[in-house]
Structures are given as C-alpha cells and as structure tokens.
Amino acid sequence: MDKIFLEGLDFYGYHGVFPEENKLGQRFRVDLTLHAPLKKAGKSDDLKNSVNYADVYEIAKTMVEKKQFKLIEAVAEHISSEILATFSSVESCTVKVTKPNPPIAGCYQSVAVEITRGR
C-alpha cells in the first residue's frame, strides 16, 4: 500500500493528568503515516486524487492545540478518527504522539504512543 508521511509536527498543547500540565502546557510532536492509493495522483498530477497534506496538518494541529485531553492516547485516537472521517481515500493511518518533557522524574528522551486505525 502507498503511504504519505507527515513527520515531526511540533505543537504546544495542554494535555496531561496533572493540573500543572493543563495550566502551563508543553510541547508535543506528532508523526503520521497515511495508507492510501496514490497511483492515480501520481499519473494525473492532480491534488484531487491525493490527500491534501495541509489539511492533514490542520487536523493534527487542532487536536493538539485547541482540544484538551488527559492522555496522549486520546490525542492520537482523535487525530486518527478525524483523518479517517475527512479523507475517504485513506484506508488506515498510524499516529504517533510524543511528549518530549513529561513530568516524570528520571532520565529519558521522551514518552510516546503509536496507534494504527483503519476502516
């Protein structure tokens, strides 16, 4: 299956189980892989036969910056649901949401969840 990648989308949001996360906010990174047939788009060179990356970006941005969830699992779930509802040509999508600086004591690079949802 053909794939579209949007990687390293950085946003600022207010997600978390701790009150300070909801008040102060923090950075989130989103990586997306969309599975969709792209042959027709490649042959026609016409955007109507593909997926508009700018629209996909706006979906991720809205979910991270304008909504509020306790869990990054919920952020990922809502992004995938909206992508599948908006783009009929997308057969499935993988959404990875990374929280680079969660309030966890210890030494680590980041925490993340990755989900794959399809029709």
Catalytically active residues are 99
Taking the C-alpha atoms of residue 9 and residue 67, their distance in angstroms, rounded to an integer, is 16
| Contact call for residues 26 and 16 (beta carbons, < 8 A) | yes
| Contact call for residues 116 and 92 (beta carbons, < 8 A) | yes
Taking the C-alpha atoms of residue 65 and residue 88, their distance in angstroms, rounded to an integer, is 25
